[in-house]
């Protein structure tokens, strides 16, 4: 990796308990400070993603680190268009609620990590994918959650942006066939983690009780 010097502080792997990381984790939009994160911190976070389980041990993910301001600006403009399209599809009441919600911190974070899925990796016989083809895709998402929780321990915020057209992002980053972009993650130092998720704070949608999600023996 390049660009950022290591610091004595950043050499220490943080020891935040996993349950604390799970509770503290947020989908960050407004809290990025813009302060660059150290090279070895970024490497630890990506290494956490790379330690995820994967179907047939295919490890079908890749991580594209984007810091070029021109690329960040282009992508942010594209996302602004997608936001407008969504707003226009909403009934008036929901549109008002949505207007107050920030959906990305692409420029403010100073860095995007685009996580991709290569369905060609691992050849023809993928142990565990012959019955359920989506398990390849699932592996990439497991890597994203690993990365996300490691980031929390590093005081690094992650904001998953999904207001974009896949074909646009594929072209922007020159992602070759058959690789598919799965997520644009804004990655950056944060001032704080909000205690309540944004969509709950801004009245978009509240929490479902855990008990409602648990069933016994049959659905």
Kindly identify the residues of this chain, within the stretch 25-44, that bind its own copies according to CB under 8 A. 25, 27, 43-44
CB of residue 87 vs its own copies: minimum separation in angstroms?
Answer: 10
CB closer to its own copies, 7 vs 162: 162
DSSP secondary-structure letter at 121? T
**Which of these ranges, 4-12, 33-41, 79-87, 185-193, lies near its own copies under the rule CB under 8 A?**
79-87
Check residue 205 for interaction with its own copies (CB under 8 A).
yes
CA–CA gap between residue 163 and residue 102 (Å, rounded): 12
- Please report how many Cα atoms fall inside a 13 Å half-sphere around the Cα of residue 146, on the Cβ side: 19
Q: Restricting to residues 90-129, which ones interact with its own copies according to CB under 8 A?
A: 90-91, 94, 98, 101, 103, 116, 122, 125, 127-129
When asked if residue 22 is in the footprint of its own copies (CB under 8 A), the reply is yes
In eight-state DSSP terms, residue 56 is G
216 binds its own copies (CB under 8 A): yes
Beta-carbon contacts of residue 213 (< 8 Å; ≥ 6 apart): none
What is the rounded CA–CA span in Å between residue 197 and residue 49?
23
- The H or E element containing residue 44 is helix 39-50
Give the interface size with its own copies as a residue count (CB under 8 A). Answer: 100
Among 37, 58, 106, 186, binds its own copies (CB under 8 A): 58
- 8 A C-beta contact, residue 112 and residue 75: yes
Cα dihedral angle (101, 156, 143, 163), rounded to 10 degrees? 20
Q: Is 72 in the site for its own copies (CB under 8 A)?
A: no
Report helix, strand or coil for 186: strand
Q: What is the closest distance, in whole angstroms, from the C-beta atom of residue 212 to its own copies in the complex?
A: 8
Distance CA 135, CA 132 (A): 6
Span interacting with its own copies, options 4-12, 31-39, 175-183, 187-195, rule CB under 8 A: 175-183
| Residue 85 touches its own copies, criterion: CB under 8 A | yes
Q: Smallest distance from the beta carbon of 113 to its own copies, in angstroms?
A: 9
Binding of its own copies at residue 175 (CB under 8 A)? yes
């Amino acid at each position: 990796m390049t660009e950022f010097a290591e610091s004595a502080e950043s050499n220490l792997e943080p020891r935040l308990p996993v349950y604390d990381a799970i509770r503290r984790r947020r989908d960050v939009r407004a809290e990025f400070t813009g302060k660059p994160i150290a090279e070895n911190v970024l490497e630890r976070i990506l290494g956490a993603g790379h330690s995820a389980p994967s179907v047939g041990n295919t490890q079908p993910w890749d991580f594209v680190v984007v810091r070029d301001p021109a690329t960040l600006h282009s992508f942010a403009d594209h996302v602004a268009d997608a936001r407008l399209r969504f707003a226009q599809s909403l009934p008036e009441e929901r549109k008002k609620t949505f207007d107050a919600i920030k959906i990305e911190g692409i420029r403010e974070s100073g860095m995007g990590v685009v996580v991709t899925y290569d369905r060609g990796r691992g050849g023809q016989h993928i142990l565990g994918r012959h019955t359920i083809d989506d398990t390849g895709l699932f592996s990439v998402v497991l890597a994203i959650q690993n990365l996300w929780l490691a980031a929390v321990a590093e005081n690094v915020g992650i904001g998953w942006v999904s207001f974009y057209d896949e074909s646009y992002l594929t072209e922007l980053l020159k992602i070759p066939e058959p690789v598919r972009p799965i997520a644009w993650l804004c990655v950056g130092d944060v001032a704080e983690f909000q205690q309540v998720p944004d969509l709950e704070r801004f009245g978009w949608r509240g929490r479902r009780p855990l008990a409602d999600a648990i069933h016994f023996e049959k659905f």
